[in-house]
């Protein structure tokens, strides 16, 4: 087993472990805000490890570049989605998003 | 069956907790479960494309990542206004 194959297997194990741990976190946490925290590592560390494994195997080929593009898209989309979901939850709970008007004396 | 296909199969197990959250949780929690399932499916498609040695299949993962972003944003906007 060569060094690159060991690196591929290691990255695959890391990626799968992170994704499954985040799935369990989403299942076990009580509040939606708490569940939202587990989307971050699942969208950043997991895809990066899997794309890294593909990249170690293929290098700068069609597969490696597309895998990294997919991981980059997930990494960029994750904070946007988390923000939008948290904002929706906040508005549903508080019924407003703007600060209350200041009373002038 | 190579390591990529084994990893994809193991990752598919992660869809069970996501489905449980979608079915049993409140509506915003279901949205979080849906987003998690989208991330998981994207990674599974990456692994399947590599496992079956089909570089063209990487496009599926790329398109799913883009569409799950758009779908999540639409759902979040809808939840804060109408549902």
Q: Which of A11-15, A93-97, B18-22, B28-32 is predicted with the least confidence, judged by mean pLDDT? A: A93-97
Does A55 contact chain B (CB < 8 Å)?
A: no
Domain boundaries, chain A: 3-94
Residue A99 CB-density burial (10 A; 0-12 exposed, 13-18 middle, 19+ buried)? exposed
CA–CA gap between residue B32 and residue B53 (Å, rounded): 32
Residue B57 class from Cβ within 10 Å (0-12 exposed, 13-18 middle, 19+ buried)? Answer: middle
Query: Which residue stretches of chain A are H helix?
Result: 3-28, 32-37, 39-58, 62-94
| CB–CB contact B39 A24 (8 Å) | no
pLDDT over threshold 90, residue A105: no
How many Cα atoms sit within 13 Å of A42 on the Cβ side? 33
Q: Which residues does A14 contact at the CB level (< 8 Å), separation at least 6?
A: A45, A49
> Does residue B48 carry a pLDDT above 90?
yes
Q: What percent of chain A shows pLDDT beyond 70? A: 90
pLDDT of residue A1: 78
**Residue B56 burial (10 A CB sphere; 0-12, 13-18, 19+):** exposed
Which residue out of A5, A21, A26 would a mutagenesis test of the B interface target, given it has the greatest number of B Cβ atoms within 10 Å? Answer: A26
- Which is higher by pLDDT, A92 or B43? B43
The whole-model pTM stands at 0.89
pLDDT 10s digits, A64-103: 999 999 999 999 999 999 999 999 998 888 776 666 666 6
Taking an 8 Å Cβ-Cβ cutoff, which residues of chain B contact chain A? 3-4, 7, 10-11, 13-15, 17-18, 20-21, 25-26, 28-29, 31-33, 35-36, 39-40, 42-43, 46-47, 49-50, 55, 58-59, 61-62, 65-66, 68-69, 72-73, 76-77, 79-80
């Amino acid at each position: 087993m060569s060094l690159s194959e060991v690196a591929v297997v290691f990255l695959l194990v890391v990626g799968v472990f992170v994704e499954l741990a985040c799935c369990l976190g989403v299942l076990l946490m009580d509040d939606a805000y708490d569940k939202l925290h587990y989307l971050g590592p699942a969208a950043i560390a997991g895809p990066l490890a899997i794309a890294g494994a593909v990249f170690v195997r293929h290098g700068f080929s069609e597969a490696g570049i597309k895998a990294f593009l997919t991981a980059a898209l997930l990494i960029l989309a994750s904070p946007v989605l988390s923000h939008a979901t948290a904002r929706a939850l906040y508005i549903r709970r508080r019924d407003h998003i703007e600060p209350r008007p200041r009373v002038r004396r | 069956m190579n390591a990529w296909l084994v990893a994809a199969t193991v990752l598919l197990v992660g869809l069970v907790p996501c489905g449980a959250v979608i079915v049993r949780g409140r509506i915003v929690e279901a949205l979080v479960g849906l987003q998690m399932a989208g991330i998981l499916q994207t990674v599974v498609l990456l692994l399947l494309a590599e496992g079956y040695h089909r570089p063209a299949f990487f496009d599926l993962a790329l398109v799913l990542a883009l569409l799950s972003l758009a779908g999540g944003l639409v759902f979040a906007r809808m939840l804060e206004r109408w549902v």
